């Protein structure tokens, strides 16, 4: 009963959020991403290396609100994926969970997608994802708006990796140019090593 009520509330909030969503085009990253060979338009403000990372509103698997402020004083890796239930997104998430998180225990490892929290929780249980926090942008689409990663007309986030220092300044940003490709893990690890 609680799950049904929470799902109905989530879907209602998502519908309202989408209706209120701005059509601000991310000009910082315009023309940098394709899906199936076609350019996509990214909505939101966008961020650059050197910027103070904007705060965001997401929810975790228990529908508890989570924001960047919840990770105060910690460096953060943001692994952004369109959907955990797809092949490349799953590979990316497993890679950061299995091969990166244990090397950098002082860094908060976050995976953000627009999957519903139920789907994220199910995926993590099935795949043994236990070193990352999964955050859902399905409710408010605020993360996508703040970071300029929401794909217009798809409702998904663009694939990206960002590294924030402990003061939450963006020290590394990788916007993957083709949604079907994995990020360059070595470059992300180099950024983590620089912390």
Query: From CA 178, how far away is CA 56, in angstroms rounded?
Result: 25
107-113 vs 133-136, strand pairing mode: parallel
Q: Is position 89 annotated as part of the catalytic site?
A: yes
Please state, in angstroms and as integers, the Cα–Cα distance from residue 93 to each residue in 45, 133, 148, 172, 189, following that order: 25, 10, 21, 18, 14
> Which is the catalytic residue, given 8, 13, 89, 124?
89
Residues contacting residue 23 through CB under 8 Å, at least 6 positions apart: 43, 152
Burial 153-176 (b: 16+ CB within 10 A, else e): eebbbbbbbbbbbeebebbbbbbb
Strand-pairing partners, residue 184, are none
38-39 vs 34-35, strand pairing mode: antiparallel
Catalytic residue numbers read: 89
């Amino acid at each position: 009963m609680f799950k049904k009520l929470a799902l109905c509330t989530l879907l209602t909030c998502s519908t309202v959020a989408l209706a209120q969503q701005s059509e601000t085009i991310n000009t910082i990253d315009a023309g940098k991403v394709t899906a199936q060979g076609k350019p996509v338009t990214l909505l939101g403000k966008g961020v650059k290396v050197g910027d103070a990372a904007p705060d965001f509103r997401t929810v975790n698997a228990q529908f508890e609100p989570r924001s960047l402020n919840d990770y105060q004083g910690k460096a953060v890796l943001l692994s952004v994926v369109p959907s955990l239930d797809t092949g490349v997104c799953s590979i990316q998430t497993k890679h950061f969970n299995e091969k990166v998180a244990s090397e950098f225990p002082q860094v908060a490892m976050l995976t953000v997608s627009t999957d519903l929290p139920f789907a994220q929780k199910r995926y993590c249980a099935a795949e043994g994802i236990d070193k990352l926090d999964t955050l859902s942008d399905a409710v408010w689409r605020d993360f996508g708006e703040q970071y300029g990663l929401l794909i217009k007309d798809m409702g998904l986030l663009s694939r990206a990796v960002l590294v924030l220092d402990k003061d939450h300044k963006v020290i590394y940003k990788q916007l993957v140019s083709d949604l079907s490709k994995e990020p360059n893990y070595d470059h992300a690890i180099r950024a983590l090593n620089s912390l």
